């Protein structure tokens, strides 16, 4: 069905009809109306208790100001509804506009359109859209949206963005193209979009074979074993957060890369335990963390206590529990509540990300004003070579360093430094070995110099 603002039923009216029988909505729109709370008051019924909004927060002051203030209005809306769950995500270079309606976790209808979530876009602009009800098309659209990489725009992050913008003198109109630094606000994004994937806590080891300190979990694609009951509820792309039996520490985080498989006679001959015959292959998302997990001391007890102290009324498990008691009855996995699971993953991912940040400590401690240009160049070359050698193939490493060497050195130290930084960040868009490595590499900082 075609939707047009030039007919008697515009996008606004069609969205009101779409969400009439929904209990959840997913919306993607790079531009947002100033008062989203007013939109939700009119379009959403009381039975809608969850909204996932994908938008685009750029580092341009004027655009960032509009998005941040708009998002702040829906956080106010959510606070006035105790039963309402809100998730706001920023997707780089987002352009697509889609509106999906759910009931009992099943998408039953959607609209794909040129119309942004603005008053003009939904009512008066010359916009066209298509209403979708076919199940296979909706599923394809869901998969596309859920594959997006994002930064999470929490209420606290939005408040920091607004504070950062307000600290810059001048009006939005005066500084339309001014670039603002938001890197410290969004420091540790996860490498994948987990909004629609289950998160599980999984023990490794057993009562007769505890995990020992020094046992590395850096293998990139290991088998992850389950008991004699087929783990049918574990799906492709689900997340397995592993912890060690005995030590009770988090070991590493994996994305499920296969359907459940059963061990063979050859596997048994090679030493696989018959008591744990089912397994899946997992992509190790945190190999650096896993290589020295014992150094970080993240235990289940501490995680539980910290989360519940911050969120006393929120559950840890999918069924609403606040303990990990199922493991006392030999459960081989535990389905986590999505919010707790993402919170836990972010703690581990921050440590995983910091492996690359630490390598710039030599740069960060230098008094740059005391160095001449040759000394600055030599120091940067050592840092760049160390980072490139670890995260790039030999050919990519050579290409990257040659790009740096092309930068004229007859600049002031400040200009030279900023050009080095831009070259490094631009090169980080090149494909390199492994998604988690790309995430780390794209976030390293050459320096924090004040020149």
pTM for the whole thing? 0.51
Contact 207, 100 (CB under 8 A): no
Query: Which residues fall within 8 angstroms of residue 305, CB to CB, at 6 or more apart?
Result: none
Q: How many residues does the chain have?
A: 451
Q: Quote the pLDDT of residue 405.
A: 57
Q: Quick one: 2-166 is in which CATH superfamily?
A: Endonuclease Chain A (3.30.870.10)
Cβ atoms < 10 Å from Cβ of 299: 15
Contacts (Cβ under 8 Å, ≥6 apart) of 364? 447, 448
Asked if 146 and 56 count as a contact pair (C-beta separation under 8 A), the reply is no
Which phi-psi region, left, alpha or beta, contains residue 96 (left: φ > 0; alpha: ψ -120 to 50)?
beta
Stated as kind and residue range, the H or E segment containing 403 is helix 394-405
* pLDDT (tens digit per residue) in 249-277: 999 999 998 889 998 888 888 777 788 89
Task: Tell the burial category of 79 from Cβ atoms under 10 Å away from its Cβ (0-12, 13-18, 19+).
Answer: exposed
| CA–CA distance, 370 with 377 (Å, rounded to integer) | 13
CA distance 281 to 219: 11
- Spell out the residues 6+ positions from residue 144 whose beta carbon is closer than 8 angstroms to its own: none
Nearest CA among 314, 334, 315 for reference residue 324 = 334
Asked whether the beta carbons of 239 and 200 are under 8 A apart, the reply is yes
CB 39 within 8 A of CB 14: no
List the chain pLDDT tens, one digit each, 451 residues: 788 888 777 999 999 999 999 999 999 999 999 999 999 999 998 899 999 999 998 888 888 899 999 999 999 999 988 788 898 988 888 999 999 999 988 899 999 999 999 999 999 999 999 999 999 999 889 888 877 777 788 888 899 889 888 887 765 555 556 777 776 666 444 555 555 679 999 999 887 778 888 888 988 788 999 988 899 899 888 999 999 998 899 999 999 988 899 988 888 887 777 888 999 999 888 888 898 898 888 999 999 999 999 999 899 999 999 999 888 888 999 999 988 998 999 889 888 766 543 333 334 444 444 445 555 555 555 555 555 555 555 565 566 556 555 545 555 544 555 555 555 544 444 433 333 333 333 333 333 333 2
∠ Cα 229 230 234 (to 5°):
125
pLDDT value for 363: 40
Amino acid 375: pLDDT: 55
Question: Do 297 and 307 meet the contact criterion of CB atoms below 8 Å apart?
Answer: no
Strands 199-204 and 239-244: parallel
Cα distances from 393 to residues 385, 399, 429, 451, in angstroms, run: 12, 10, 14, 33
The two beta strands, 50-55 and 24-28, are parallel
d(CA 222, CA 251): 13
Query: What is the per-residue pLDDT for 268?
Result: 81
CB-CB contact of 422 with 337 (8 Å): no
What residues contact residue 365 under an 8 Å CB cut-off, 6+ apart? none
β-pairing, 199-204 with 106-113?
Answer: unpaired
What topology does CATH give the domain 199-352? ph1033 like fold (3.10.590)
Nearest to 197 by CA among 142, 118, 279, 278: 142
Measured CA distances, 21 to 28, 225, 351 (Å): 20, 42, 43
């Amino acid at each position: 069905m075609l939707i047009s603002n030039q007919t008697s039923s515009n996008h606004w009216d069609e969205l009101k009809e779409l969400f009439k029988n929904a209990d959840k909505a997913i919306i993607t729109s790079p531009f947002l109306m100033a008062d989203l709370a007013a939109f939700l008051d009119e379009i959403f019924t009381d039975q809608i208790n969850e909204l996932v909004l994908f938008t685009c927060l750029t580092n341009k002051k004027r655009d960032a100001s509009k998005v941040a203030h708009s998002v702040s209005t829906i956080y106010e809306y959510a606070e006035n509804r105790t039963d309402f769950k809100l998730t706001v995500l920023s997707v780089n270079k987002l352009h697509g506009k889609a509106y999906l309606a759910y009931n009992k976790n099943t998408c039953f209808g959607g609209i794909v359109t040129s119309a942004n979530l603005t008053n003009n876009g939904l009512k008066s602009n010359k916009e066209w859209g298509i209403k979708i009800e076919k199940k296979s098309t909706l599923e394809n659209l869901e998969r596309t949206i859920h594959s997006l990489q994002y930064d999470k725009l929490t209420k606290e992050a939005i408040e920091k963005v607004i504070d950062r913008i307000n600290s810059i003198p001048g009006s939005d109109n005066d500084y339309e193209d001014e670039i603002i630094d938001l890197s410290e606000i969004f420091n540790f994004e996860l490498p994948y979009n987990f909004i629609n994937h289950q998160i599980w806590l999984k023990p490794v080891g057993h009562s007769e074979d505890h995990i020992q300190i020094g046992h590395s979990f850096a293998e990139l694609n290991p088998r992850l074993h389950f008991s004699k009951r087929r783990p049918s509820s574990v799906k492709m792309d689900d997340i397995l957060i592993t912890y060690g039996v005995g030590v009770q520490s988090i070991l590493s985080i994996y994305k499920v890369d296969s359907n459940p498989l059963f061990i063979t006679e050859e596997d048994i001959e090679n030493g696989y335990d018959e008591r744990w015959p089912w397994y899946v292959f997992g992509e190790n998302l945190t190999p650096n963390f896993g290589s020295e997990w014992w150094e970080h001391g993240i235990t289940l007890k501490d995680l539980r206590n910290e989360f519940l102290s911050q969120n006393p009324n929120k559950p840890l498990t999918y069924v609403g529990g606040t303990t990990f008691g199922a493991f006392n009855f030999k459960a081989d996995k535990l389905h986590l509540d999505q919010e707790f699971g993402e919170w836990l993953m972010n703690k581990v991912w921050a440590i995983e990300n910091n492996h690359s940040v630490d390598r710039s400590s030599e740069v960060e401690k230098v008094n740059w004003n005391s160095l001449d240009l040759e000394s600055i160049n030599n120091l940067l070359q050592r840092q760049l070579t160390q980072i490139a050698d670890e995260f790039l193939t030999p050919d990519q490493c050579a290409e990257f360093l040659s790009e740096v060497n092309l930068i004229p050195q007859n600049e002031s130290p400040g200009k030279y430094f900023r050009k080095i930084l831009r070259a490094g960040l631009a090169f980080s868009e090149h494909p390199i070995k492994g998604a988690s490595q790309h995430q780390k590499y794209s976030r390293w900082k050459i320096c924090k110099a004040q020149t």
